[in-house]
A and B are shown apart, each in its own frame.
Chain A
Amino acid sequence: MSETPFEPEITAFVCQYCGDMAADSAGWNRISYPANVKIVRLPCTGKVDVHHILNAFEHGADGVYVVACPEGNCHHINGNLSAKRRVTYAKSLLDEVGVGGNRLEMFHVTAAQGDEFARIAAEMTERIRALGPSPVRRAMGKSSG
């Protein structure tokens, strides 16, 4: 019996002005992206807390990424820059824990970049697929791989 290939669970924290609109743009342009990505819409990526990111990993996410407005174009002036700094800090914590900071990434898109949103989703899915299930998820015995 052949083994089912590993399909990663990925959580994407997106801002409602750029990331989420870009996901919408992908939709109405009929651009598909991997179903592995579960989107959490936020009023601004400045709302992303390190705890939210760790929480996702603790509850079985194999990868997490944040999609913010391009630098200099945040609807809330600098929420995206705050998110960027927190993502960097969260990466260090994930390395410290042994989960691996490379399972977390930060991206910037505009609302119209549906194609870029889809490319990012595919890139992260491929990256995490190559890394395999998160060590936390493996330990939970919940790996779908």
Chain B
Amino acid sequence: MIIAQRKPLEEIKEMVASYEKVLVLGCGTCVAVCFAGGEKEAKLLASELRMARQMEGKSTQIIDHTIQRQCEWEFIDPIKELVASVDAVVSTACGIGVQGMAERFEDKPIFPGVNTTFLGMPVQPGEFVERCQACGDCILDLTGGVCPVARCAKSLMNGPCGGSQNGKCEVNPETPCAWQLIYDRLAKLGQLERMMEIMPAKNWSTSRDGGLRKIIREDLKL
């Protein structure tokens, strides 16, 4: 899922300082699961903003609402009237949701309430770790199901590097070396010979290097 982190209150307060009536709009999918911008977090942020603005003698017209997804028109469109009734929106969705809202409501200031951080998973309650970099050309079949693109600090295709010490990465001694994980997993699968294969340089044009990415599925078009 998309993992995000709430922005500091001070930053959000500053963004909406000149607006009277503000809607804090939560998103009920990824950012709800990572507890950054779901219904509960939108309520908390609205409450914090109201208190902070009350203390500054400013308008406390801060309302909150949550829709299932801010990255699909069918969930955004039903809140047209609600958005029209406020001066600005703080979206606690990921960057996709914020842009979805901004695209749909061209004349309304839409501000990000979270920092979209990475694609990952909760490995245990309260701990979220990056797992995928959406490179557009998955090689997990070759690396024992462990992604060197996202999990190796250097995104090495033929690791480990000399900075791998006792199974940990030199960038952060708490981070497991991705290539150590790959080695261990391939050993369990009985496929250690894969470590001897030289992986050619990856074609990064399917990743961010190729510019804006787009998928068209004619079969899904209306």
Chain A interface (Cβ < 8 Å from any Cβ of B): 49-51, 54-55, 57-58, 93, 96-99, 135-136, 138-140
Contact = CB atoms under 8 A, between A and B. Distances in A.
Contacts of A136: 51, 54-55
Contact of A51 (B40, B52, B55): B40
12 contacts: A51-B40, A51-B44, A54-B44, A58-B47, A58-B50, A93-B44, A96-B10, A98-B55, A99-B51, A99-B55, A136-B55, A138-B55
A96 B47 CA distance: 12
A58 B8 contact: no
A55 B47 contact: yes
A135 B55 contact: yes
Interface residues of B, number: 14
Given A51-B43, A51-B44, A139-B57, A58 B9 contact: no
Nearest to A55: B47
Nearest to B56: A139
Interface string B2-20: 0000001110000000000
A97 B51 contact: yes
A127 to B, nearest CB: 20
Contacts of B137: none
Contacts of A51: 40, 43-44, 47
B77 interface: no
B54 A50 contact: no
A50 B44 contact: yes
B94 to A, nearest CB: 22
**Shortest 8 CB-CB contacts between residues of A and residues of B:** A54-B47, A139-B54, A96-B9, A135-B55, A139-B55, A136-B51, A97-B51, A97-B48
Nearest to A98: B55
A57 B50 CA distance: 11
Interface string B25-47: 00000000000000010011001
Nearest to A136: B51
Contacts of B10: 96
A93 B55 CA distance: 15
Nearest to B48: A97
Contacts of B48: 54, 93, 96-97
Given A51-B40, A51-B43, A139-B57, A57 B8 contact: no
A58 B43 contact: no
Interface string B53-72: 01101000000000000000
Nearest to B58: A139
Contact of B54 (A49, A54, A140): A140
A54 B55 CA distance: 14
